[in-house]
Structure 1
């Protein structure tokens, strides 16, 4: 029997998304992931080294997907916040994965893929500030932090919605 390594990895990652989003890293069980994927749990260790390795790869893929689908637009930070909000609403499991990562690894533990994406975004904001395309009233990191956190506000605040996020960022930029 010929094994399709990439197809097996894809099945494991798909099954792991639901498991980790539901139970976090500590609560997830490799036997449930393997069963849902229709694979032997030894494949998790063969392809990802550990449950934590599987989680790390899954989180990287999910972050990369959002980074690619929602590119930074420094000259339209309110629109960027709204598009991030929409992306998180379409794929809420990413926010859960990120939350579990921070809860189980410490709030300062940023996945490398997220840190790298964030560095590029800060550089884009700083460049736009230098060119006078956006406000320089805040340093680039603080401004991006505010915009990104506004985009996830509605997921922890019941009365927040996309329009509130966009209006709030517009006010922030105008001040």
Structure 2
């Protein structure tokens, strides 16, 4: 529900800028529930505003997105913030909302079954398990790499007596975090 609300907010914010409408007029255009989500987003945004000027550094965009439940890659953030060359450039909440919308719309969240299927390609024996060392290697070397400590936390309690991790159980556990 929150993601849908943020999409609506993003569209409304974009229309406000296109029509040069004052952003205070958004309150007139949206219902109370959306107002609550907009307020929540602004509250999170303002938490990262260290100067009290209602702006954040471009370098904080990823942190704010993650605090709002998104999981952008560093490449996603870099692409969305490419227009601001200096990492200490500060943006307003109104500039942030379309970034949120772009990140939100670009990510189709894979289903649990798709994650299981993806990891099953590393199941050499076809028994639904993956070697814990191999899984740890994947987590720390590919894509958005985890630190050794993060991988240890994620894998804790999943290794069986043969040094394997049940793929389906692992994916379900991780998806509930």
**Fold conserved between structures, TM > 0.5:** no
Structure with the largest fraction of strand: 2
Query: If you compute each CA radius of gyration, which structure gives the higher value, 1 or 2?
Result: 2
TM-score range, shorter chain: under 0.3
The structure with higher relative contact order (CA 8 Å, sep 6+) is 1
**What TM-score, normalized by structure 1, do the two folds share?**
0.26
Structure with the largest fraction of helix: 1
**What TM-score, normalized by structure 2, do the two folds share?**
0.26
